C-alpha cells in the first residue's frame, strides 16, 4: 500500500497539525510564497511520487486560500502523486449553490469544477451548506457530519427540557435530525431578508416556554440571524438559548453581536480558526474525526461508523 503524506495550506496550519497528530504522522514540508503583487506560489519540499497525498485547507477567507489549494493540487499532480485527496473542513462558496435570482453565478458548482480540473481525485469535507452540492462533483466526496462531535457535548450539559431550533427555514433539516436523536421538540425561526446579511423580520413557529433551546446551523457569518433568533426565543419564554454551529466564519461585527447577545454560549468547531477569543464561544475540534476518516479511506474501509 502506498505511503500517506499530509500537507497543510497556510489557512489551516493549526488544524492540520492536530489532524496529523491524531493520525500519528507528521506534516510534510511545503513552501507557500507570495510575490509582491499578491501572486501565490506553492511547492513541495519533499518527494510525493507514488504517495497518497492529503492536502488540508479550509477556504475562508476564500479567495487566496482557494487559489493556494488549487496550486497545491496541481503541484502534487505534476510531482507524480499517486492519489490526491483534498481535505476541506470548510467548503467556501457553498452558499452560492443555486440561481436564486436572474443572472447570478453558481459559485459552489464553479468550485467543484476548479478542484476537479486542478487534479483532485477525492474531496473530504464537513457539513456542506446544502447536501446536494455533493452532486456537483464527478469525483468521490466524503461528507462528514459534525453531529458526532456536538452530540456528546450536548449530552454532557444534562439540560432538562431541550428544544432544538432552526434559525431559518434552510436549517430545518439539521435541527430536525438533532431533535429526532434527542427525542425532543423542534421550532423554526422564520426570517425575511431585505438583502444579504440584513434581516427585515423574524417570527417563531412553535412553543419554547421554559425550554432550554439549542439553535442548530452550519455557518455563522455576521451572527445577525443567530443573535436575533436567540433574542426572540428569549422573548417567547425560553429558559436558556445556546447555539451549535459548525463553521465560524465570523465576519464584520460578529464577535460584537455574540458578546452582546442573550446566548448562553455558541459552540463551534475549528474548521475555521477564530480571529480572536470570546467567553461566549466554545471550540470543539474536528481533527480526530478527520484523522479517523482519512485512515479509513486509505485502508479502503467504510466511514459510516463515524456518523451518529
Q: Which residue has the cell 478527520?
A: 290
Of 295, 298, 288, 300, nearest in space to 148 by CA: 288
The DSSP call for residue 238 is: -
The grid coordinates listed for 160 are 432538562
Exposed, middle or buried, 81 (CB in 10 Å: 0-12/13-18/19+)? buried
As given in the structure block, the three cell numbers for residue 167 are: 434559525
Distance CA 253, CA 223 (A): 8
Count of Cβ atoms closer than 10 Å to residue 173 Cβ: 12
Annotated catalytic residue 191: yes
> Residue 236: CB partners within 8 Å, gap ≥ 6?
204, 207, 208, 209
304: phi then psi, degrees, rounded to nearest 5: -60, -25
The three three-digit cell numbers of residue 303, written as one number: 466511514
DSSP secondary structure letters along 246-306: EEE---TTHHHHHHTSS-S-EEEESSS--SS--TTEEEE--HHHHHHHHHHHHTT---GGG
CA 233 vs CA 30, 158, 182, 187, 245: distances in Å: 48, 20, 20, 10, 17
How far apart CA 295 and CA 308 sit, in angstroms, is 19
- Among residues 191, 194, 276, 282, the one annotated as catalytic is 191
**Catalytically active residues, by annotation:** 191
Amino acid at each position: 500500500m502506498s505511503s500517506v503524506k499530509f500537507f497543510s495550506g497556510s489557512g489551516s496550519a493549526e488544524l492540520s497539525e492536530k489532524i496529523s497528530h491524531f493520525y500519528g504522522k507528521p506534516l510534510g514540508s511545503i513552501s507557500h510564497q507570495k510575490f509582491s503583487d499578491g501572486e501565490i506560489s506553492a511547492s513541495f519540499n519533499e518527494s510525493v511520487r507514488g504517495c497518497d497525498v492529503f492536502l488540508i485547507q479550509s477556504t475562508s477567507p476564500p479567495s487566496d486560500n482557494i487559489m493556494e489549494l488549487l496550486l497545491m493540487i496541481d503541484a502534487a499532480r505534476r510531482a507524480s502523486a499517486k492519489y490526491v485527496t483534498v481535505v476541506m473542513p470548510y467548503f467556501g462558496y457553498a452558499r452560492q449553490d443555486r440561481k436564486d435570482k436572474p443572472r447570478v453565478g453558481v459559485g459552489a458548482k464553479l468550485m467543484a469544477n476548479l478542484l476537479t480540473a486542478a487534479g483532485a481525485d477525492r474531496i473530504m469535507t464537513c457539513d456542506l451548506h446544502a447536501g446536494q452540492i455533493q452532486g456537483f462533483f464527478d469525483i468521490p466526496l466524503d461528507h462528514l457530519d459534525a453531529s458526532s462531535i456536538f452530540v456528546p457535548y450536548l449530552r454532557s450539559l444534562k439540560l432538562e427540557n431541550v428544544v432544538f431550533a432552526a434559525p431559518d427555514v434552510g436549517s430545518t433539516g439539521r435541527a430536525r435530525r438533532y431533535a429526532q436523536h434527542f427525542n425532543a421538540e423542534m421550532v423554526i425561526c422564520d426570517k425575511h431578508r431585505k438583502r444579504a446579511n440584513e434581516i427585515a423580520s423574524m417570527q417563531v413557529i412553535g412553543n419554547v416556554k421554559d425550554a432550554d433551546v439549542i439553535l442548530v446551523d452550519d455557518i455563522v457569518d455576521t451572527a445577525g440571524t443567530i443573535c436575533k433568533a436567540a433574542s426572540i426565543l428569549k422573548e417567547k419564554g425560553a429558559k436558556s438559548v445556546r447555539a451549535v454551529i459548525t463553521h465560524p466564519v465570523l465576519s464584520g461585527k460578529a464577535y460584537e453581536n455574540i458578546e452582546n447577545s442573550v446566548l448562553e454560549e455558541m459552540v463551534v468547531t475549528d474548521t475555521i480558526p477564530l480571529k480572536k477569543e470570546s467567553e461566549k464561544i466554545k471550540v470543539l475540534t474536528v481533527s480526530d474525526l478527520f484523522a479517523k476518516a482519512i485512515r479509513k479511506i486509505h485502508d479502503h474501509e467504510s466511514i459510516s461508523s463515524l456518523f451518529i
